[in-house]
Amino acid sequence: MELATLLVTLFYLYGIIGCVFATWFVLRGVEQLDHVAKGISWITKLLFFPGSAALWPVLAWKLMYTRPENPANKH
Protein backbone atom coordinates (compact mmCIF):
# COMPACT_ATOMS: atom_id res chain seq x y z
CA MET A 1 0.00 0.00 0.00
CA GLU A 2 2.90 2.36 0.53
CA LEU A 3 3.72 2.34 -3.19
CA ALA A 4 0.10 3.14 -4.09
CA THR A 5 0.02 6.00 -1.60
CA LEU A 6 3.27 7.37 -3.01
CA LEU A 7 1.99 7.19 -6.58
CA VAL A 8 -1.29 8.92 -5.70
CA THR A 9 0.61 11.62 -3.80
CA LEU A 10 2.92 12.17 -6.79
CA PHE A 11 -0.10 12.34 -9.10
CA TYR A 12 -1.72 15.01 -6.93
CA LEU A 13 1.55 16.94 -6.72
CA TYR A 14 1.89 16.82 -10.51
CA GLY A 15 -1.68 18.11 -10.83
CA ILE A 16 -1.20 20.94 -8.33
CA ILE A 17 2.03 22.09 -9.96
CA GLY A 18 0.31 21.80 -13.34
CA CYS A 19 -2.60 23.99 -12.26
CA VAL A 20 -0.30 26.65 -10.84
CA PHE A 21 1.85 26.60 -13.96
CA ALA A 22 -1.19 26.63 -16.25
CA THR A 23 -2.61 29.69 -14.49
CA TRP A 24 0.65 31.56 -15.04
CA PHE A 25 1.00 30.22 -18.57
CA VAL A 26 -2.48 31.32 -19.61
CA LEU A 27 -1.96 34.79 -18.16
CA ARG A 28 1.64 35.44 -19.30
CA GLY A 29 3.53 32.50 -20.74
CA VAL A 30 1.58 31.87 -23.91
CA GLU A 31 2.52 35.33 -25.14
CA GLN A 32 6.19 34.54 -24.62
CA LEU A 33 6.04 31.44 -26.79
CA ASP A 34 3.98 32.93 -29.60
CA HIS A 35 3.76 36.66 -30.26
CA VAL A 36 0.50 36.17 -32.18
CA ALA A 37 -1.19 35.17 -28.92
CA LYS A 38 -1.02 38.74 -27.60
CA GLY A 39 -4.30 39.71 -29.18
CA ILE A 40 -6.43 36.68 -28.32
CA SER A 41 -9.30 36.94 -25.87
CA TRP A 42 -9.24 35.54 -22.35
CA ILE A 43 -11.83 32.94 -23.33
CA THR A 44 -9.51 31.60 -26.00
CA LYS A 45 -6.61 31.63 -23.54
CA LEU A 46 -8.79 29.68 -21.13
CA LEU A 47 -8.89 26.87 -23.69
CA PHE A 48 -5.13 26.48 -23.20
CA PHE A 49 -5.54 25.75 -19.48
CA PRO A 50 -6.21 21.97 -19.52
CA GLY A 51 -3.45 21.22 -22.01
CA SER A 52 -0.89 23.38 -20.27
CA ALA A 53 -1.78 21.86 -16.89
CA ALA A 54 -1.24 18.36 -18.27
CA LEU A 55 1.87 19.19 -20.32
CA TRP A 56 3.50 21.65 -17.94
CA PRO A 57 6.97 20.01 -17.98
CA VAL A 58 7.14 20.27 -21.77
CA LEU A 59 5.99 23.89 -21.81
CA ALA A 60 8.29 24.86 -18.94
CA TRP A 61 11.22 23.32 -20.82
CA LYS A 62 10.22 25.16 -23.99
CA LEU A 63 9.91 28.48 -22.14
CA MET A 64 13.32 28.05 -20.52
CA TYR A 65 15.25 27.07 -23.62
CA THR A 66 13.74 29.06 -26.45
CA ARG A 67 14.60 32.62 -27.21
CA PRO A 68 11.68 34.98 -27.72
CA GLU A 69 10.89 35.73 -31.35
CA ASN A 70 11.24 39.23 -32.64
CA PRO A 71 8.18 39.84 -34.85
CA ALA A 72 10.00 42.65 -36.67
CA ASN A 73 12.56 40.17 -38.01
CA LYS A 74 10.00 37.79 -39.51
CA HIS A 75 10.00 37.55 -43.29
pLDDT digits (tens, 9 = 90+) for 24-68: 999 888 888 888 888 888 898 889 999 999 999 999 999 888 776
- Model pTM greater than 0.85? no
Judge whether 56 and 21 are in contact, CB under 8 Å.
yes
Judge whether 59 and 25 are in contact, CB under 8 Å.
yes
Domain ranges in the chain? 9-66
Burial 62-71, CB ≥16 within 10 A → b, else e: ebeeeeeeee
Q: Report the alpha-carbon angle 13-66-18, nearest 5.
A: 15
